[in-house]
Amino acid sequence: MGDAPPGKPALAASLPAPLRRERAMILLLLLALAVVSWIALLRWEPGMGGEEMMGPTMGLGPLLFLAVWVVMMVAMMFPTAAPMILMFARVQAGKRAQGQAFVPTWVFVAGYLIVWIAFGVLIYGVALIAERAIQGSAWFGMNAARLGGALIVLAGLYQLSPLKRACLAHCRTPLHFVLTRWREGYQGALEMGLRHGLYCLGCCWLLFAILFPLGLMNVGLMALITLLIFAEKSLPISPYARVAAAVALVAYGALVLVYPGALPTAMAMSSAG
């Protein structure tokens, strides 16, 4: 690996066999964590069913809610974030092979998770406010499903927004991100993870927000959203997937606005009010 300009990493055309194996192990670890998280979510699902569990907070306290949220993030986002994580790991492996100072990949991943955990804290706060509003106001109780429909329409429109496209462009080009956003050292790796997490959040935040009106622990829906995010970030059909999702979300959200009973959680919302 030759010398790189200051502030930019040098990329090797190929890595020594031991480092390639290490990179493969990182990928296997990411996928294994995702699989274990999916299994945990599937095992959680049979215990659901009460109206309390269909509310915005699922009847959970903040710590347990965040624990469930982290499991969801690992299940849904680790597979889609793998290309960026592996690109970071490749650069650090090259530095290590040259005897230079390197940073473990977990530092980058930690920055990425911090962003999503912070978003989970915000989501819990909003969910708690929404839950109390539904319980304390007859109007909110009667119109909660329609508000959910409006959120779904908003998520569909966001799919076509310039901000979504800009964030998605960064997520789809790991090499460009590494070359233009590289930072040295542990603090730099953490900053890179935070920055990538923000881009990823910018792509997907409303896709996660619609889980609340549709059912936060709806594992089938989570799998569908994961496939959509993967298609948007990693496949050539990305523009078509993004537009198709926009059309589907706007159409379904409009249906809920007209007929609130079309929302899976409508009955629980109205009875909570």
Q: pLDDT, tens digit, for every residue of 113-166?
A: 999 999 999 999 998 888 888 787 788 878 888 999 999 999 999 999 999 999
Structural domain includes residue 6: no
The confidence score (pLDDT) of residue 113 equals 95
Structural domain includes residue 9: no
pTM listed for this prediction: 0.84
Structural domain includes residue 2: no
The confidence score (pLDDT) of residue 94 equals 83
Sign of CA dihedral 227, 230, 236, 238: positive
Structural domain includes residue 153: yes
Angle between helices 219-234 and 62-97 (to 10 degrees): 30
- CA torsion 33-38-41-43 (nearest 10°) is -100
Structural domain includes residue 113: yes
The confidence score (pLDDT) of residue 52 equals 45
Query: Which of 194, 188, 199 minimizes the C-alpha distance to 8?
Result: 188
pLDDT digits (tens, 9 = 90+) for 31-41: 999 999 999 98
Structural domain includes residue 73: yes
Structural domain includes residue 4: no
Which structural domain, as residue segments, surrounds residue 45? 17-272
Q: How far apart are CA 155 and CA 141, in angstroms?
A: 22
The confidence score (pLDDT) of residue 50 equals 46
Query: Which of 149, 259, 168 minimizes the C-alpha distance to 209?
Result: 149
Domain count, the chain: 1
Structural domain includes residue 209: yes
The confidence score (pLDDT) of residue 166 equals 94
Question: Which residue ranges in the chain fall short of pLDDT 70?
Answer: 1-19, 45-55, 266-273
**CB burial readout 42-61, b (16+ within 10 A) else e:** eeeeeeeeeeebbbbbbebe
The confidence score (pLDDT) of residue 2 equals 46
